[in-house]
Amino acid sequence: MAKKLESSVKNMILCLFFISLFMSAALGFVYQATKGPIAETQKKAEIDALKNVLPKFDNDPTTEAKEIEGLTYYIAKSGEKAVGCAVKTFTTKAFSGRFDLMVGFKVDGTINSIAVLTQKETPGLGDKMKTKWKDQFNGKNPKDFKMTVKKDGGEVDAISASTITSRAFCDATQKAYDGYMKNYEKQLNTGGNDE
């Protein structure tokens, strides 16, 4: 009886080992097969977001994108002249943790437009930041526009029943503005390039 039990345990261990080996190989194959299409989809989403948030441009800002202190900067040009900069920014102050935005600036720091890239906020409430609500930032320059919700003494109308999400959105947008002003505004506003 003990030999039979020992044999069964060995067989089970071998069986589990081969199943695990097969599943690991299958998972690796699926990863390799989907890695390219996923990267292409992400690149397309990135380019679409840039087109939505920046003034009209004719270069590919993704080829010269630079990451500085966790934010990614994309310089948009028309010919050789810079027309704006998009900043991929984020916040961890949201109700459900982190979300990512793409904020487009004109060369003087005025917000051209904002796109929501990822968010996991409460369904129905968090989705409101993708609607016309975010348009209240368009044409505003955070130098003159207090980037906090009215409840906190600022100028931003909060999303109804979603003040935390609104505060987080302002946080991410302010972070993008501060980074742009620190790293690029002088160069772009005087006609320089980002090199």
Q: Is the dihedral of CA 56, 60, 61, 62 positive or negative?
A: positive
Tell me which of 58-67, 115-124, 135-144, 170-179 is least confident.
115-124
Q: Please provide the average confidence, as pLDDT, over all residues in the chain.
A: 86
pLDDT value, residue 193: 45
> At 158, is the pLDDT very low, low, confident or very high (cuts 50, 70, 90)?
confident
pTM for the whole thing? 0.75
Structure tokens belonging to residue 113: 């437009």
Distance CA 143, CA 194 (A): 22
Instruction: Tell me the chain's radius of gyration from C-alpha atoms.
Output: 24
Q: What are phi and psi of 121, to 5 degrees?
A: -70, 170
Condensed to tens digits (0 to 9), the pLDDT of residues 160-170 reads: 877 888 899 99
